[in-house]
């Protein structure tokens, strides 16, 4: 009788050990598998109804929403060296509701991303610096958070002897929530044509 009671205990212990070994093996195997990150895929026709600005002097194009406006005045230097794409018509917006992207194109004068004085100055003022790619070219993105939850952003890219600066601001957390995706799509559409 004593021997008959001992066998189920041994079987139970063996099952527990095998389950533990099997569980450990599964955990180790699954933890070695590469983690898949969700991939953002642009919709094929995402820019279907968007307007396109073509800059033949500085060799780039950029798209902007159908309800946005291309500003032709009030810029220094004037177009084509500097352009402004805006959510409001070309008139003073006293309410401060304007969301815009400005693109400035100037001769680089021998500077590089590493030696650009403006990038160095803004980094010294607390702008975070990140290396990215714009239209296949290395670029620097600078961002500084706003106390109200917004963000001030600029991208610098050098191409064929010119420096291009793309600048936009999201004034507070609500504006950021509403327009961050649209601004990112505008920036993603920027492309060199030469």
The SS3 assignment for 191 reads strand
| Structural domains for the chain | 51-192 (3.40.1000.10)
Backbone angles phi and psi of 57, in degrees to 5: -75, -45
Write out the chain's pLDDT in tens, 194 residues.
Answer: 455 566 666 665 666 675 566 655 555 555 444 443 433 344 557 788 999 999 999 999 999 999 999 998 889 899 999 999 999 998 765 556 789 999 999 999 888 999 999 999 999 999 999 999 999 999 999 999 988 899 999 999 999 999 999 999 998 899 999 999 999 999 999 999 99
CA distance 187 to 181: 10
Predicted pLDDT at 35: 41
CA distance 80 to 74: 13
Alpha helices, DSSP H only, in 33-158? 117-124
Asked if 157 and 23 touch (Cβ cutoff 8 Å), the reply is no
CA distance 184 to 98: 16
Other C-beta atoms lying within 10 Å of the C-beta of residue 176: 18
Strand partners, 73: none
Predicted pLDDT at 97: 72
State how far the alpha carbon of 154 is from the alpha carbons of 84, 104, 157, in Å: 14, 11, 10
């Amino acid at each position: 009788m004593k021997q008959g009671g001992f066998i189920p205990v041994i079987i139970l212990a063996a099952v527990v050990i095998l389950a533990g070994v099997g569980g450990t093996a599964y955990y180790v195997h699954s933890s070695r598998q590469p983690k898949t990150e969700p991939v953002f895929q642009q919709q094929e026709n995402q820019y279907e109804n968007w307007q396109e600005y073509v800059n033949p002097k500085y060799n780039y194009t950029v798209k902007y929403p159908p309800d946005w406006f291309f500003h032709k005045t009030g810029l220094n230097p004037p177009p084509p060296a500097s352009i402004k794409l805006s959510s409001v018509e070309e008139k003073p917006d006293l309410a401060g509701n304007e969301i815009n992207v400005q693109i400035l194109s100037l001769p680089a004068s021998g500077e590089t991303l590493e030696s650009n004085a403006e990038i160095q100055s803004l980094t010294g003022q607390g702008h975070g610096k990140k290396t990215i790619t714009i239209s296949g070219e290395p670029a620097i993105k600078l961002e500084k958070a706003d106390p109200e939850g917004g963000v001030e952003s600029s991208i610098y890219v050098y191409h064929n002897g010119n420096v291009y600066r793309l600048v936009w601001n999201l004034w507070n957390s609500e504006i950021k929530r509403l327009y961050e995706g649209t601004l990112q799509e505008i920036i993603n559409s920027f492309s060199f044509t030469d």
